[in-house]
Chain A
Amino acid sequence: MYSTAIWTSFSTILRREVRRFTRIWPQTLVPPVITMSLYFVIFGSLIGSRIGQMGGFSYMEFVVPGLIMMAVITNSYSNVASSFYSAKFQRNVEELLVSPTPNWVIMAGYVLGGVSRGLIVGFVVTLIALFFTDLGVQHLGMTVAIVFLAAVLFSLAGFINAIFANSFDDISIIPTFVLTPLTYLGGVFYSIDLLSPFFQGLSKLNPVLYMVNAFRYGVLGVSDINVAWAFVGVLVFIALLFGWGLHLMSHGKRLRH
């Protein structure tokens, strides 16, 4: 395919993905916003006022970047996982597989669809956060870069989950048993300085910790970890997942028998 045709194909997939999640906005955009608003009220405002300072900031200031990142991660992941698995389930993925669209363009289209939903939800959650706290951004470029890369990474993970899934249950197992624990234990609600050295070490094996802290560094200027490692780690994982996804599409037997 020529580059213009590839671009047309990519933008068509992306447009269809955006059309899908905006068509069903009460399922895709409203619930995460309500959930995050509740987190702001309960953890940030009600409980947070009794906790006092964390990392030199009020608890509300501390927790907001983590909650925004959590919204971006979970929505990017679940958008691609559910959309691509539905396409497999209804077999309309065949529309793409029989077309000349290269596999990497199919992946890129779905991933950017997930990124779009993650960023839209993240933006709305940020606006709501402004009702609870002032959100000054210390490093704008880093903030935007890490939120975008995290959305790409978890969209890719959702894509691979969808390739392996054989039922709708299979696309909820990873978010429930892997993604949620990693996010909750990834420094969203606390600084790992509060943990014993053993659990600090254990937490550093959690990739979500690096993304949450890099984002918090971008917003507040503080982090529990070296931010450079966060970028290196995210980029390495993106490369690995992209390669794996491409391999599954080109040689795997879950889409083509």
Chain B
Amino acid sequence: MTAALSIRNLEKTYDNGFQALKGISFDVQPGDFFALLGPNGAGKSTTIGIICSLVRKTAGSVSIFGVDIDKDFAAAKQLLGVVPQEFNFSQFEKVYDIVCTQGGFYGMPRKLAEERTEKYLKQLGLWDKRSVQARMLSGGMKRRLMIARALIHEPRLLILDEPTAGVDIELRRSMWTFLQQINAEGTTIILTTHYLEEAESLCRNIAIIDQGDIIENTSIRSLLKTLNREVFILDVREPLAECPDLGGFEGRLQDETSLEVTVEKGQSLNDLFTRLGEQDVAVVSMRNRANRLEELFVSLLADAKQEGEG
């Protein structure tokens, strides 16, 4: 099956000598919801810039659904929609005009562009704002406007560069639902985000990029299986004066009703609860101290840094 996105030995060295990409390769399969993660300055935006032709690559190749961007520039771009990190529309144009005009840039007849504009502005809750200048929108609305604009030509591959940055939780969740819906309808999605909870809930596969190299490229499920330890916070009913005896588990009191316990791979939570029950400690709720993917992400970056220094 032809990959939705195929990147081979992609390199980018800027004029100042900074090597942003050191020959990365990865594939994204059709229909996937793919996370491209990495710390700031890792090379994510450079990669996206090259895919959508805003950045010139130094070496390597990029194909979108089998179409090489160097060989058939126009056909590749018809298959691709991009939602950039920064707002990049005219602040003085009306919402409707921004989306409809983009359809024209893709060669869409006016009538079709108008129909699609209405469809996506309605789906993204912006129809009531269609006659408003873009500068008057809230941050969340501006992000949704960029998504509507990127979808106007109904691309098969949609790349979103931190689409929910600075968006409140309610709106973020409604954007997740929308993205899941268009993914279910067949659009391949690549997402970069700093909210690892977002990547864990939405994405099936992942590539982690650091200092211009891919340091991990696998499914999120397989990645989570490599987690060696998890830290849980247990809320207890009665205040505790000191940390109870946890047997083989490592733990400490965060405060008198919150207990932090580290569970190593192979240890059973049943054993922990049995031991707490024996000491009449009743647990009323339990949560992860941090997102599991976040734990892995931090540890992978630390390993990469150590290897680099070694």
Contact = CB atoms under 8 A, between A and B. Distances in A.
A38 interface: no
Interface stretch (B70-78, B193-201, B222-230): B70-78
A99 B102 contact: yes
Given A97-B53, A98-B54, A1 B107 contact: yes
Nearest to B51: A98
Contacts of B55: 256-257
B74 A100 contact: yes
Contacts of A4: 107
A99 B88 contact: no
Contacts of A16: 93, 97, 101
Contact of B56 (A2, A19, A98, A256): A256
B104 A92 contact: no
Given A100-B74, A256-B53, A256-B56, A90 B107 contact: no
Given A8-B104, A257-B55, A98 B86 contact: no
Interface in B54-103: 54-56, 73-75, 77-78, 80, 82, 84, 86-93, 97, 101-102
A95 interface: yes
A198 B84 CA distance: 58
Interface string A96-119: 111111100000000000000000
Contact of A257 (B56, B102, B104, B108): B56
B189 to A, nearest CB: 17
Contacts of B74: 1, 100, 102
B15 A253 contact: yes
B90 A92 contact: yes
In this complex, the interface size class of chain A, counting residues with CB under 8 Å from chain B, is 20 to 34
B30 interface: no
A100 B106 contact: yes
In this complex, the interface size class of chain B, counting residues with CB under 8 Å from chain A, is 35 or more
A95 B54 contact: no
B107 A9 contact: yes
A87 interface: yes
A98 B77 contact: yes
A92 B89 contact: yes
B94 to A, nearest CB: 10
Contacts of B82: 98
Nearest to B76: A100
A100 B90 contact: no
B125 to A, nearest CB: 22
A94 B101 contact: no
B105 A90 contact: no
Interface string A1-13: 1101110110111
Contacts of B78: 100
A91 interface: yes
A99 B106 contact: yes
Given A91-B88, A253-B15, A100 B107 contact: yes
Contacts of B109: 8
A8 B108 contact: yes
Q: Name the residue among A12, A253, A256 with the largest chain B CB count within 10 angstroms.
A: A12
Q: Name the residue among A6, A87, A98, A257 with the largest chain B CB count within 10 angstroms.
A: A98
B52 interface: yes
A13 B107 CA distance: 11
A228 B16 CA distance: 49
Given A5-B107, A8-B108, 4 more contacts: A91-B86, A94-B54, A95-B101, A256-B55
Q: Which 7 A-B pairs have the closest CB atoms?
A: A5-B107, A12-B104, A100-B74, A91-B88, A99-B105, A100-B77, A92-B90
Interface of A: 1-2, 4-6, 8-9, 11-13, 15-16, 19, 23, 86-87, 90-92, 94-102, 253, 256-257
28 contacts: A2-B107, A4-B107, A5-B106, A5-B107, A6-B107, A8-B109, A9-B104, A9-B105, A12-B104, A13-B105, A16-B97, A90-B88, A90-B90, A92-B89, A92-B90, A94-B54, A94-B84, A95-B88, A95-B89, A95-B102, A97-B53, A98-B82, A99-B77, A99-B102, A100-B78, A101-B107, A253-B15, A253-B56
